[in-house]
């Protein structure tokens, strides 16, 4: 069999790389294989002699570094090209053809730390857990310990902290490593003046205001990071870099230079989603990133929903929003907004106008809060009568978002909650609306990862009665945002004893679960199940009801977000109307 295989191999053709690790645990062998340039080249299907020769010469350093990283400081590496040691072949004598490559690594014994010292460091600095005498002497731990010490000094205001001396000795007789590193913290410094470079249309004074660098205060790398993030958050800049001066300005200042590259001022976007019974939804916006040279953002957005829907008419709306960053504080954004909309639902039609002002506060990269004041006027018609709703609302909300990718999350959590007290005028009752949306993601597996995704939504209205509550505040269930497999807003309160027709409820809950599996790098499949509940005035009242749906989905990764195709059917409740199909961009949640 071996002879036949040899005869079948064309002369000069590259055979599979023979890779051997003579000893050591499985984890070490895996690390060495992952570090191999030759195995990486083989996995990519590259067999050109010049590529193989270059990778072979680089193999020594890569494998030695991987061995050091695992705590093995006496590795012996051989890389043979057609029986010749690659390191002994001069670059000008590189072979024109290569038939076989054999890599052999003897990692030698594992080393342990005999001494671990990084000093001086600020009081209370905690070194990495494995950086201690008697522990495996992984080179990465030494680097991590040194970085920990430098970072501790920088956190204490010593911006110029650096390594002053290194004494790292491997004792091959005792198989131990002594790591002694001296640090030079330098003086404690304060932030100097922020200098701006690269701005074109953006006013320099506003860049200072938005960055919010605490000039004159003790140097803090976190404050530097927050300043850069504030500038990026405006959307005005394509790139933002904050760098520290090489020299200290007398007496104890360190200057900072912000180098910015501005984005194009205008941007537009168009999106679409299709559902078999709910019809098509079109959304779009036009955005000006820097309206008056101070980072002001003007956004005009419109939407048309339920085009071709079987159970309702077409909804449409147009809104205008102006955001001004760094108002009151560097982390506070002021917003003015107005919106007009027409709703043509199964049980009512409405013309609505809203005018509002609000503030958003960025507490951290993950946590934001908001508060506003809105006046809304709505003219509503149903089969019973016409109603005019007017109210003044005080929406208060917060969002926690730790997802790794908003369009296709694999890890993290998302929680958005809003309490909206409102004061009614005329026939409109006063009350409060509470809505919360929580999501969680967990992924396991490397080659073909599987993601478990869960979502819970809850809503309630306190105060007033059904007819006295603004109609667009009431809750429904069904459709792509709540329960797939059930028609859009198909579940409400259907009681002729109450009002003679279906109407939304004052209590709402929905649960969704998905299993997302990657078949290839671009193709994924999804299994999902959704359930929703609507109560007339409270959870568990006699008019409440629930329904559920389940199905399968297909995802195609486009790079900016997956294209979503879901096919779902009703599995519980009385609102089902056959199989539903949903098409859109991005995961369902």
Split at pLDDT 50, 70, 90, the class of 407 is confident
pLDDT above 50 (res 11): no
pLDDT recorded at residue 3: 32
Split at pLDDT 50, 70, 90, the class of 6 is very low
Lowest mean pLDDT among 170-174, 246-250, 489-493: 489-493
Query: In 3D, which of 178, 197, 319 has the Cα closest to residue 258?
Result: 197
Residue 235: other Cβ atoms inside 10 A: 16
> Under a CB-based contact definition with an 8 Å cutoff, are residues 378 and 351 in contact?
yes
State pLDDT tens for residues 231-254. Answer: 999 999 999 999 999 999 999 999
Split at pLDDT 50, 70, 90, the class of 501 is confident
Q: Is the model more confident about 391 or about 544?
A: 391
Half-sphere exposure of 54 (CA within 13 A, CB side): 8
Burial code (b: 16+ CB inside 10 Å, e: under 16) for 21-38 equals: beebeeebbebbbebbbb
Percent of the chain's residues with pLDDT above 70: 97
Q: How far is CA 5 from CA 2, 8, 9, 14, 97, in A?
A: 5, 5, 6, 13, 20
Split at pLDDT 50, 70, 90, the class of 14 is confident
Q: How far, in Å, CA of 539 to CA of 483, rounded?
A: 18
Q: How far, in Å, CA of 27 to CA of 20, rounded?
A: 14
| Whole-structure pTM value | 0.81
State pLDDT tens for residues 421-438. Answer: 999 999 999 999 999 999
Q: Where in 24-145 does DSSP place strands (E)?
A: 76-81, 84-85, 101-106, 112-119
Residue 481: other Cβ atoms inside 10 A: 17
Split at pLDDT 50, 70, 90, the class of 12 is low
pLDDT recorded at residue 577: 82
Q: How far, in Å, CA of 66 to CA of 97, rounded?
A: 29
Split at pLDDT 50, 70, 90, the class of 578 is confident
State pLDDT tens for residues 120-169. Answer: 999 999 999 999 999 999 999 999 999 999 999 999 999 999 999 999 99
Q: How far, in Å, CA of 61 to CA of 317, rounded?
A: 62
Q: How far, in Å, CA of 76 to CA of 182, rounded?
A: 31
DSSP string, 467-499: TTS-GGGSB-B-STTS-TTS-TT-BSEEETTTT
Interval 105-131 mean pLDDT: 95
Interval 319-328 mean pLDDT: 96
pLDDT recorded at residue 499: 62
pLDDT recorded at residue 498: 59
State pLDDT tens for residues 21-46. Answer: 999 999 999 999 999 999 999 998 88
Percent of the chain's residues with pLDDT above 90: 81
Q: How far is CA 89 from CA 40, 79, 151, 188, 470, in A?
A: 22, 11, 44, 53, 82
Joined together, the tokens standing for residue 190 give: 């304060």
């Amino acid at each position: 069999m071996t002879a036949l295989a040899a005869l079948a191999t064309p002369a000069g053709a590259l055979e599979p790389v023979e890779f051997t690790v003579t000893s050591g645990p499985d984890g070490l062998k895996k690390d060495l294989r992952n570090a191999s340039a030759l195995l990486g080249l083989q996995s990519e299907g590259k067999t050109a002699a010049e590529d193989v020769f270059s990778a072979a010469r680089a193999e020594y350093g890569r494998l030695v570094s991987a061995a050091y990283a695992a705590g093995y400081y006496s590795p012996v590496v051989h890389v043979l090209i057609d029986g010749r040691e690659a390191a002994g072949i001069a670059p000008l004598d590189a072979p024109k053809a290569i038939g076989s490559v054999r890599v052999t690594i003897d990692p030698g014994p594992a080393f342990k730390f005999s001494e671990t010292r990084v000093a001086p460091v600020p009081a209370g600095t905690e070194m990495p857990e494995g950086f201690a005498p008697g522990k495996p002497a992984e080179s990465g731990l030494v680097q991590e310990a040194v970085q920990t010490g430098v970072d501790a000094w920088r956190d204490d205001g010593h911006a110029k902290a650096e390594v002053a001396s290194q004494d790292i000795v491997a004792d091959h007789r005792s198989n131990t490593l002594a790591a002694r590193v001296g640090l030079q913290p330098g003086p404690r410094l304060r932030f100097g003046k922020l200098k701006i470079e690269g701005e074109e249309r953006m006013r320099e004074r506003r860049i200072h205001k938005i960055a919010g660098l605490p000039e004159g205060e003790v140097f803090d790398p976190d404050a530097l990071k927050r300043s850069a993030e504030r500038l990026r958050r405006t959307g005005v800049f394509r790139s933002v870099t904050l760098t520290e001066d090489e020299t200290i300005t007398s007496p104890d200042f360190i200057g900072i230079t912000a180098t910015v590259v501005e984005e194009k001022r205008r941007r537009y976007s168009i999106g679409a989603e299709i559902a078999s019974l709910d019809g098509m939804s079109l959304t779009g916006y036009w955005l000006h990133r820097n309206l008056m040279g101070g980072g002001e953002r003007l956004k005009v957005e419109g939407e048309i929903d339920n085009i071709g829907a079987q159970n309702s008419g077409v909804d449409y709306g147009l809104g205008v929003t102006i955001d001004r960053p760094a108002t009151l504080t560097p982390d506070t954004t002021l917003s003015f907004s107005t919106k007009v909309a027409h709703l043509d639902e199964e049980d009512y039609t409405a013309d609505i106008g809203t005018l509002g002002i609000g503030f958003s506060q960025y507490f951290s990269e993950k946590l934001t809060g908001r508060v506003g004041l809105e006046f809304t006027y709505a003219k509503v018609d149903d089969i019973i009568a016409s109603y005019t709703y007017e109210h003044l609302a005080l929406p208060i909300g917060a969002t926690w978002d730790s997802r790794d990718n908003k369009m296709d999350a694999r890890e993290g959590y998302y929680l958005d909650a809003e309490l909206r007290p409102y004061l009614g005028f005329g026939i409109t009752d006063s009350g409060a609306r509470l809505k919360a949306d929580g999501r969680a993601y967990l992924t396991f597996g490397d080659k073909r990862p599987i993601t478990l995704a869960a979502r819970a939504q809850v809503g309630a209205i306190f105060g007033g009665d059904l007819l006295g509550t603004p109609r667009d505040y009431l809750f429904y269930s069904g459709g792509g945002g709540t329960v797939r497999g059930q028609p859009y807003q198909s579940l409400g309160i259907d009681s002729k004893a109450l009002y003679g027709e279906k109407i939304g409820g004052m209590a709402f809950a929905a649960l969704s679960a998905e299993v997302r599996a990657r078949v290839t790098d671009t193709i994924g499949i999804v299994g999902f199940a959704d359930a929703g509940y609507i109560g007339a005035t409270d959870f568990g009242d006699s008019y409440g009801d629930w329904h559920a749906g389940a199905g399968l989905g297909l995802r195609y990764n486009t790079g900016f977000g997956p294209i979503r195709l879901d096919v779902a059917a009703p599995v519980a409740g009385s609102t089902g109307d056959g199989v539903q199909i949903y098409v859109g961009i991005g995961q369902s949640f």
